[in-house]
């Protein structure tokens, strides 16, 4: 037993010596292998993974379609750089995503490596198309850790720290949050006030929004709010960018979360679960907007890597042929029911949020005042890990426990996860 314990301890000591503290690791674990909704650490201990590489593994760890596609592509070409020469997986994926988003309209696709790159390039495209400088984002938003991504992010800690000065011409307005009293009407009024007092709409290139805020607390934008934004942006010639990096690819019960509102954005940023664990991101948008940058204005050495594009095509095959969207809706309904049952027993759960299988609980110190309790959320997370369930937190106050289990999670695994969570809530004093 001593030798197995030392494997973890030795690895974590190496992490402390060689990796800076700025890269936060939520759990003191070192994982060795994974399959579906399960992972095993270097000591052989099994965990249910309801984090999914932070929303990257909607199709689960090592999905057979993804593994086979990458293995096959590896025998052909692993990397060429699309700026040098094109290759079939990139072209096929560009067409497929443009068709899925465009739904009969002319859309185009371009690929990068990280979600932050997708966001930065979406802003570049919008500015190039409109010849305007300003971007409006939302409080509580998360759009990446690059300079512009950090500026667009609507949280001060831990993301902004002392990293400024930040990019100019970025403005933040409230995001609707019914639990904390921010209505759709209030959020829209704040946007109009921003137009009147900070930046005129004819100087705004884009409005950037997550249809369901991810790191901000798994807050869904009301359908009426998204429809109103669609009308406002169309009226003023503003590009509407939907950040689907965490909410896309079946997480909310539809392929993209904006579908719940019945709108079509001008540009969509995609990443995370697009390629089943391989680093790939992209911008998919209306052809006339996407054509704004001149040749050489977009790109990246690894953007649209051949292996990652092959993996993404396999992910889309899984959605089209394996019933993953319907499975996600079934799992989401069961998860929401389980969380609401737990909330009825634990006053520390102030709110349950669920959009498809994108679920969370907000932990509070007092149900009456709804005061956030980040310490309680952390105790729940730690107790869940001790029981064999991996979850992480989010929210501006870091008091929200979020669940991103793969869409291939079995019924038995879901019930096991809820059982472990129930025991964790008890141990944490919720």
Mean pLDDT in order along the chain per 10 residues (430 residues): 67 90 92 97 96 97 98 97 97 98 97 98 98 98 96 93 93 97 97 98 98 96 98 98 98 98 97 97 98 96 97 98 97 98 98 98 96 98 98 96 98 98 96
> Looking at residue 5, what is its pLDDT?
56
What are the residues facing 362 on neighbouring strands?
Answer: 351, 400
Q: Which two tokens stand for residue 340?
A: 């609401």
> Looking at residue 3, what is its pLDDT?
52
75 half-sphere exposure, CB direction, 13 A CA radius = 5
Query: How far apart are the C-alpha atoms of 377 and 398, rounded to whole Å?
Result: 8
Query: How far apart are the C-alpha atoms of 202 and 183, rounded to whole Å?
Result: 26
Query: How far apart are the C-alpha atoms of 52 and 61, rounded to whole Å?
Result: 8
Query: How far apart are the C-alpha atoms of 339 and 326, rounded to whole Å?
Result: 20
Q: Is 209 helix (H, G, I), strand (E, B) or coil?
A: strand
Q: Are 222 and 176 a contacting pair, CB within 8 Å?
A: yes
Q: Are 376 and 296 a contacting pair, CB within 8 Å?
A: no
Q: Are 271 and 280 a contacting pair, CB within 8 Å?
A: yes
| Residue 267: C-alpha distances to residues 40, 108, 114, 334 (Å) | 38, 10, 16, 32
Please state the pTM of the whole predicted model.
0.95
CATH 3.90.1150.10 fits 2-63+323-428, yes or no: yes
Helix, strand counts (H, E) of the chain: 13, 18
The H-or-E segment that residue 393 falls in is strand 392-394
> Looking at residue 2, what is its pLDDT?
44
> Looking at residue 1, what is its pLDDT?
39
> Looking at residue 8, what is its pLDDT?
86
Q: Which of 267, 297, 296 is nearest to 283 (CA)?
A: 267
What are the boundaries of each domain within the chain? 2-63+323-428, 76-321
Query: How far apart are the C-alpha atoms of 199 and 376, rounded to whole Å?
Result: 40
CATH number of 76-321: 3.40.640.10
**Ramachandran class of 161: left when φ > 0, alpha when ψ lies in -120 to 50, beta otherwise:** left
Q: Which of 183, 177, 235, 95 is nearest to 396 (CA)?
A: 177
């Amino acid at each position: 037993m001593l030798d197995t314990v030392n494997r973890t301890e030795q690895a974590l000591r190496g992490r402390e010596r060689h990796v800076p503290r700025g890269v936060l690791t939520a759990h003191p674990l070192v994982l060795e292998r994974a399959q579906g909704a399960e992972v095993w650490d270097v000591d052989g201990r099994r965990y249910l993974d309801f984090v999914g590489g932070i929303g990257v593994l909607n199709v689960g760890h090592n999905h057979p379609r993804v593994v086979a596609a990458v293995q096959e592509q590896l025998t052909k070409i692993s990397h060429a750089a699309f700026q040098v020469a094109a290759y079939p997986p990139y072209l096929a994926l560009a067409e497929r995503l443009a068709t899925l988003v465009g739904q009969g309209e002319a859309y185009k696709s371009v690929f990068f490596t990280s979600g932050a790159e997708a966001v930065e390039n979406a802003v570049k495209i919008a500015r190039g198309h409109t010849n305007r400088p300003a971007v409006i984002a939302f409080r509580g938003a998360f759009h990446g850790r690059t300079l512009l991504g950090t500026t667009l992010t609507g949280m001060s800690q831990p993301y902004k720290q002392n990293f400024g000065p930040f990019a100019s011409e970025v403005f933040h307005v409230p995001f609707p949050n019914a639990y904390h009293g921010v209505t759709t009407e209030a959020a829209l009024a704040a946007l109009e006030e921003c137009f009147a007092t900070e930046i005129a709409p004819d100087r705004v290139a884009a409005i950037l929004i997550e249809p369901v805020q991810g790191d901000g607390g798994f807050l869904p934008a009301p359908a009426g709010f998204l429809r109103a934004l669609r009308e406002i942006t169309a009226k003023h010639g503003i590009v509407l960018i939907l950040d689907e990096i965490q909410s896309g690819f079946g997480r909310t019960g539809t392929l993209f979360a904006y579908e719940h509102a019945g709108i079509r954005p001008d540009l969509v940023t995609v990443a995370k679960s697009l390629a089943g664990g391989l680093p790939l991101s992209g911008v998919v948008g209306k052809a006339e907007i996407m054509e704004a940058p001149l040749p050489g204005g977009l790109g990246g050495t690894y953007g649209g890597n051949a292996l990652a594009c092959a993996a993404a095509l396999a992910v889309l095959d899984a959605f089209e042929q394996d019933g993953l969207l319907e499975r996600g809706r079934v799992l989401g309904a069961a998860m929401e029911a389980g969380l609401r049952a737990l909330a009825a027993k634990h006053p520390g759960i102030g709110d349950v949020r669920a959009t498809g299988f994108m679920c969370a609980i907000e932990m509070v110190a007092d149900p009456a005042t709804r005061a956030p309790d980040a310490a309680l959320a952390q105790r729940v997370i730690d107790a869940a890990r001790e029981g064999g369930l991996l979850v992480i937190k989010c929210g501006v106050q870091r008091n929200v426990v979020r669940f991103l289990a793969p869409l291939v999670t079995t019924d038995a695994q879901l019930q096991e996860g809820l059982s472990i969570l129930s025991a964790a809530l008890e141990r944490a004093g919720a």
